[in-house]
Chain A
Amino acid sequence: MKDVVRVAGGQGFWGDSLDAPRQQVEGGQVDYLMLDYLAEVTMSILQKQKERDSSMGYARDFVGAMESVLPAVCERDVKVIANAGGVNPPACAAAVRKLAESNGVSDKVRIAVVTGDDLLGRIDELLEAGHSLSNMETGDALASIRDQVLSANAYIGSSPIVEGLARGANVVITGRSTDTALTMAPFRYEFEWSDTDWNKLAAGIVAGHIIECGAQCSGGNCLIDWRSIPDLANVGYPIAEAHEDGTFVITKHDGTGGRVSVASVTEQLVYEMGDPHEYITPDVVADFTTIQLEQDGENRVRVHGIQGRPATDKLKVSIAYRAGFKAVGTLVYSWPEALDKAKLADTILRERLDRLGLHFDQILTEFVGATATHGSLANSSASVPDYPEVQLRFGVRGQDRRAVERFTREIAPLVLNGPPSVTGFAGGRPKVEEIVAYWPALIDKRVVQTKVELV
């Protein structure tokens, strides 16, 4: 058994740095490269791509990432774990297989594919069997949106990844694995943690939570002392160095920018946090109020003391559904009295939409530069300043695509027939977007059977 196992985080979401995966395997010693590609909305985007082309539906950036790390995988035994499979893990694996063949290393790349999380084709069967799949937040029955469902995936845990590693894979591709399982699984495999060793499993989950957003724990988006964080242009992505007892250190490669401190790690720990006493995952319920942090040298934070409890008998299901259309248009008004001009334009626009008989589920106006993000808090005590410029940002949302499209024709005319000193319309008409919304539900764990195949 290894004394220490190093898992490097190389991707915080689909769209993160293309170079980070390679930098993580070339910047120093690591055992595993963990790549998280999936956000809640990503699954539905991938499902739309798969509908158009049955060989798609996975995070294509992953193939480029694999190409950049092939030497490390083939020559230095670095293993890769990624949820890049999206809604089509077998197609993702086939693309990686093809890449390995064209690079003449097919015999050195052993891919495990995890499936079974995709419930889209089973929804009616599940509903008939009495699984309500009602919305966890609103309690609404799935029937209200059944016809609009685009994708449905259970969040699955570490076990199938551990199985893939045990069967000799050096690349494990999953669909909707939890982000944290991608990090916990290699620790569980290497240190042979049992599936009831709650404290150690919880520690692996916490390590996963810290590194799953890439550089957001190592100096990126870090508020504290932000001006003094060195060399963000060359920011180091995080590495979790764990021991058998579940203690671990968060660090980054020498010679990289950014900062790993108790404060930077704490900022990431509280990111997207719910009830800290119960961070629920398919493998374990972790208690974030037990986490202890201490600085352990420059850019090293030691994490210990973590406690966990048995997992629940449910899995979370991420359902995506079509929820109408939206469009957002913007115009920029300049000094003097920029905010008043933008407010008048807003009033005029609303009246014109009304006269056109257009109805929307929602209209939202924001004044960017004045109140868009902090609302009235921004000007609560002082008088309103005469801003150099204010962006009018006007959004509509509704079920009728034609109404939303008609709205997009009403922005540009304001340049000539509305308040003065207006610019910033060069981008053309606003784009109409179909809204794919998120429906969280729970399901009995026993109905989700994952499968691991070596391909």
Chain B
Amino acid sequence: MNIQLLDIAHARSGDKGDTANVGLIALRPEWYPILDRYVTAAAVTAHFAGGIDGPVERFDLPNLKALNFLLHGALDGGGTLSLKTDAQGKVFSTALLRMRIDVPDDEAVAAGMSARGAR
């Protein structure tokens, strides 16, 4: 099953210097293991390929059913140096929610997912 993160997660993002952070939060607790397994740092790096300069780090918050991604070199210098509209990384959250993941059908069905998530 091919699923867009928008249908199984919500998110908020912000900045620290030239790094954007995106917190990705499962819309249902039982979907956290799916995020954990398929939204890897490597997958997120591939999603943002060409858009950011540095590596992607991932930290896990199973207590909040959330993953935190640090996208280094994402903000064109960051802060006041950046010429970007989104110099503070406020909408990298929604850019991550565009990402699609392939989840085996049996696993997706067992987690109560349809191709349109909860919607």
Report the separation of the CA atoms of residues A238 and B15 in the bound assembly, to the nearest whole angstrom: 22
Contact string against A for B residues 46-80, beta-carbon threshold 8 Å, 1 for contact and 0 otherwise: 01101100000001111111101010000011011
Closest to B57 in A: A275
In the complex, how many angstroms separate the beta carbon of B2 from the nearest chain A beta carbon? 11
Q: Taking the complex as formed, is B116 at the interface, i.e. its CB lies under 8 A from any CB of chain A?
A: no
Report the separation of the CA atoms of residues A269 and B64 in the bound assembly, to the nearest whole angstrom: 9
Taking a contact as CB atoms under 8 Å apart, the answer to whether B83 and A288 are in contact is no
B17 contacts across to A, CB distance below 8 A: 137, 438, 440
In the complex, how many angstroms separate the beta carbon of B108 from the nearest chain A beta carbon? 21
Q: Taking the complex as formed, is B42 at the interface, i.e. its CB lies under 8 A from any CB of chain A?
A: no
A272-B15, A276-B61 known; A376+B50 contact, CB < 8 A? yes
Report the separation of the CA atoms of residues A445 and B14 in the bound assembly, to the nearest whole angstrom: 28
Surface stretch bound by B, among A29-37, A115-123, A334-342, A361-369: A361-369
A263-B10, A373-B86, A374-B95 known; A270+B68 contact, CB < 8 A? yes
In the complex, how many angstroms separate the beta carbon of A211 from the nearest chain B beta carbon? 15
B50 contacts across to A, CB distance below 8 A: 375-376
In the complex, how many angstroms separate the beta carbon of A453 from the nearest chain B beta carbon? 33
Interface residues of A, count at CB 8 A: 49
Taking a contact as CB atoms under 8 Å apart, the answer to whether B61 and A366 are in contact is no
Overall SS of chain A's interface: mixed
Closest to B12 in A: A267
Q: Taking the complex as formed, is B39 at the interface, i.e. its CB lies under 8 A from any CB of chain A?
A: no
Report the separation of the CA atoms of residues A113 and B72 in the bound assembly, to the nearest whole angstrom: 38
Taking a contact as CB atoms under 8 Å apart, the answer to whether A223 and B11 are in contact is yes
A224 contacts across to B, CB distance below 8 A: 10, 25, 27
Taking a contact as CB atoms under 8 Å apart, the answer to whether B79 and A377 are in contact is no
* CB interface residues, B 14-55, toward A, < 8 Å: 14-18, 21, 23, 25, 27, 47-48, 50-51
Contact string against B for A residues 245-280, beta-carbon threshold 8 Å, 1 for contact and 0 otherwise: 000000000000000000100111111111111000
The 5 closest A-B pairs by CB, nearest first: A270-B23, A395-B83, A272-B14, A364-B83, A224-B10
